[in-house]
Structure 1
Amino acid sequence: MTVHFDCDELIQLPFDYEKLICSVIEETLDYENCPYETEVNVVLTNNKEIQMVNKEFRDMDKPTDVLSFPMLEYDRPSNFEDFEEAYDCFHPETGELLLGDIMISVERASEQAKEYGHSLEREIAFLTAHSMLHLCGYDHMEDEERVVMEQKQRDILEILGITRE
């Protein structure tokens, strides 16, 4: 698994965010039975930057906590069999499945951690799991989909021992 990080130089986190995010990405892929080595890009930014991207791609002129940009289209979530013959879904040099990009506003995550009464570490882990499920083809537009995603997020964080303390 390759995870490329782009972190705004002004962002200071009191924990090893790369280790945390990589562990959540890896656990999500294991949980979803992804049979491939993968590549994911992660951008850690602030509210101003994520608001610009949110406006450009979702026509929503406000900051958000996380944005997901999947590279793959699934016929059903986590059906990785669809990509066995699709060579353009794999990095030509590493052979890794290109899942997509995750953009997290650390500023918004910090606000939400305070609001929900848990650590910033837990909030970053949650947002990573949430976004990874999007990269695996899940959505939450309908109630049924939302319930499925929420349970998967809880399961993944529980497996990692990341609680709402």
Structure 2
Amino acid sequence: MALADYIMVRSMTVEISYESEKSLDIPYEDIINKMVAASLDFENCPYEAEVSVTIVDDEEIRKINSEYRGIDKSTDVLSFPFNEFESPGNFDDIEESVDAFNPESGELLLGDIILSTEHIIEQAREYGHSETRELAFLVVHSMLHLMGYDHMADEDRVIMEDRQRKILDLEGISR
């Protein structure tokens, strides 16, 4: 086997719940698993990890957004990180956090991702790319949030957007 043929097989748990009446006609489970693994690999996460992904409709994500963020409108994705990072993507001090790991599996608990089917479909159409690309982008975006990145300050936004683009490019997912 040549070095270029080597593929890292990451051990992780991605719990996916589909709770929307609206159907995504793409292999969403494969896309989610692939993008979670790609994000963890890109960030050099040294741990096996656990992530929960829930796909809901616009009304449900609106309720969650209202309850947890005080914003009474639907959105494309919500991220609920379990851990705080000293600096984004830096796992050096994560073991100091008492609740960072699942006591049964030993996996790093990264957090929850909630996605809106309607937003995936509408944004794919609006941006002129596939639903596969839109879902992949939203999962990568959310994974970066779970690993401590944000886009509130312009400087942070540029860093996060660059990482998103690089992860998607490495996986051959383009607009």
Aligned match for 2:19, one of 8, 30, 46: 8
**Structure 1 position 29 matched with structure 2 position 40:** yes
Structure 2 residue identity aligned to 1:145:
D
Q: Where in structure 2 are the equivalents of 1:30-109 lying within 5 Å? A: 30-109=41-120
With normalisation by structure 1, the TM-score equals 0.96
Give the CA deviation at 1:11.
Answer: 3.4
Q: Could you list the runs of 4 or more consecutive aligned residues of structure 1 that deviate by over 3 angstroms after TM superposition?
A: none
User: In structure 1, what is the equivalent of residue 130 of structure 2?
Assistant: 119
**Structure 1 position 132 matched with structure 2 position 148:** no
Give the CA deviation at 1:88.
Answer: 2.0
Return 5+ residue gaps in structure 1 as ranges: none
Give the CA deviation at 1:10.
Answer: 2.1
Give the CA deviation at 1:125.
Answer: 0.4
Structure 2 residue identity aligned to 1:81:
D
Structure 2 residue identity aligned to 1:6:
S
CA distance in 2, matches of 1:61, 1:14: 28
Identity within the alignment, %: 55
Match of 2:62, SS? helix
Return 5+ residue gaps in structure 2 as ranges: 1-11
Structure 2 residue identity aligned to 1:38:
A
Give the CA deviation at 1:28.
Answer: 0.4
Name the Cα RMSD after superposition.
Answer: 1.0
Structure 1 residue identity aligned to 2:132:
E
Give the CA deviation at 1:9.
Answer: 5.3
